[in-house]
Every structure is written in C-alpha cells, then in structure tokens.
C-alpha cells in the first residue's frame, strides 16, 4: 500500500481492502487527490501517504459516490472537493455498509464507517472542467452514465494518464460492478475515454493498464449487453 509513480508526478496507490486504487497528481505547488477510500480511518491513512509524497495543499476529486471511493473525504478538509453534478450521497447506505462489515467480523471497519462524517462535494461540473494543479492541467470529464450516474474521468494530458474510477476494473468486472448506473451506455463511455488516447489507465480497483485492456473490457461489456438484450 504505497504510491507508485506511473508517470512524472502522477501516482497510483492500491489498497488491500477491496483492492481499491486511489490517485495523486502533483504540480509545482499544489496537488490533486483522486478518491479518498472507504471510511475516516482509511482516509487518514491516505492523508499520511500523500504527505510522504508532497507537502503541497490539495484539492480532491471524487470519481463517483460509492462508499469505498469517498467516505474518507472528511480527513482531507478543508479543501475544494470536486464531483460531477449528478453526485448524490445515499446516507442510508452508511448503516448498510457498517452492518455488512460487522457481519463479516470486520468490527474495526464497521466502527470506522459508523463514525465517519460524510462530506458533500463543494465544486460541481457538468461535462468538462479544466483544473490547474500547481500550474499543471488536469481535465475532468463526464461521458454519461455507466457504472454510476456521476462517473468522472480524470485526464492528465501532459503524461497521457487517465484515472477511470470504476469504469475500468482489474482483473475484470464482476456482478458487484453493476450497481446504479446504465450498463447499456457503458461501452459508449469507454469509447469516449479511449478517444483521450491514454498511455496509462488507472482503474478504480486493481493495477494500471493500457488501452488494450480497456478495449477488451469494452468488448466484453458490449457482448454481454447484446446477449442480455
């Protein structure tokens, strides 16, 4: 659970719990944290990991409103927290996930989830938003509903890196990957992501991959939806 530099000043960190992958982009005097993990304790751990890389002030961007990607946000405050305008918090899910972890015998995670303060984003965008991260361009994109209704793709164009959130999962999508989005539009969203021509794609879960992996996952999604239809 250490940050790996996937390109100049761009980092990915894989976490044992759910094999979640978070991100970090470092500019000249500021940084951007991509997703914040699944509770306040995990968020605090991520804060410490970021501080091992950089002392710069941060902004946060949330790729979508599923608990494992944003419940840790409170530990980063005060700061700007970016999300797509469709981002909505289902506060009832906090008890659901705490109960789920308690049933698994993971009392520490259950307690942390129950005592986590859920943070509403402070900055919203519609389709595209260009950020300056310490003088470095980072572009937020929403290509339509897929895994969720507020999927945010984070593009770092100077090094051709894309953070895809759960639009891409490694090694493969599972039944748990399909929740509250629109699977019928998911292949189209991956087509739009590929139009950015990324060299490296950082998934929401698992290790970074190249375009070939995303193309294969897009084909699997398309074939699965065609079969179901």
Other C-beta atoms closer than 10 Å to the C-beta of 216 total: 12
What residue ranges of the chain have pLDDT lower than 50? 227-229
Helix (H) or strand (E) holding 128: strand 128-133
- Residue the block writes with tokens 């789920």: 100
User: Cβ(124)–Cβ(87) under 8 Å?
Assistant: yes
DSSP annotation string for 10-51? EEEEE-SGGGBEEEEEE-SS-EEEE---SSHHHHHHHHHHHH
Domain count of the fold of the chain: 1
The whole-angstrom separation of Cα 181 and Cα 150 is 8
Q: What is the per-residue pLDDT for 192? A: 98
| Cα-based distances in Å from 20 to 17, 56, 185, 229 | 7, 24, 24, 31
- Asked if 50 and 75 touch (Cβ cutoff 8 Å), the reply is no
Best CA proximity match to 76, nearest among 106, 51, 105? 51
pLDDT of residue 176: 75
Q: What is the pLDDT of residue 158?
A: 98
According to the model, what pLDDT value does residue 225 have?
57
Give the whole-number percent of the chain exceeding pLDDT 90.
92
**Count, residues in the chain:** 229
Please count the other Cβ atoms lying within 10 Å of the Cβ belonging to residue 155.
20
pTM: 0.96
Range of the domain at 74: 3-228
Q: What is the pLDDT of residue 229?
A: 46
Residue pair 47/20 in contact by the 8 Å Cβ criterion: no
The per-residue DSSP string of 76-98 comes to G-SS-EEEETT----THHHHHHH
Rounded CA separation 177/53 (Å): 31
CA distance to 39, 102, 129, per residue, from 44 (Å)? 9, 21, 27
| CATH assignment at residue 93 | 3.60.15.10
Of the CA atoms within 13 Å of residue 139, those in its CB half-sphere come to: 16
Closest CA to 87 of 72, 70, 74: 70
């Amino acid at each position: 659970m250490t940050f790996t530099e996937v390109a100049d000043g761009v980092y990915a960190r894989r976490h044992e719990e759910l094999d979640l992958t978070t991100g970090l982009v470092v500019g000249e005097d500021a940084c951007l944290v991509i997703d914040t993990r699944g509770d306040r304790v995990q968020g605090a751990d991520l804060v410490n990991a970021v501080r091992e890389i950089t002392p710069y002030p941060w902004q946060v961007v949330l790729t979508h409103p599923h608990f494992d990607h944003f419940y840790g946000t409170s530990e980063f405050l005060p700061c700007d927290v970016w999300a797509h305008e469709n981002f909505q918090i289902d506060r009832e899910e906090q008890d659901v996930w705490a109960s789920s972890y308690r049933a698994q015998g993971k009392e520490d995670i259950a307690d942390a989830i129950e005592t986590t303060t859920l943070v509403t984003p402070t900055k919203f965008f519609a389709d595209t938003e260009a950020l300056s991260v310490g003088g470095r361009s980072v572009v937020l994109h929403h290509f339509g509903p897929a895994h969720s209704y507020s999927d945010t793709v984070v593009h770092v164009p100077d090094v051709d890196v894309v953070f895809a959130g759960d639009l891409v999962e490694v090694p493969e999508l599972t039944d748990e990957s399909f929740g509250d989005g629109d699977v019928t539009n998911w292949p189209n969203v991956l087509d739009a992501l590929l139009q950015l021509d990324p060299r490296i794609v950082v998934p929401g879960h698992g290790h970074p991959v190249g375009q070939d992996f995303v193309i294969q996952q897009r084909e699997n999604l398309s074939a699965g939806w065609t079969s179901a239809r």
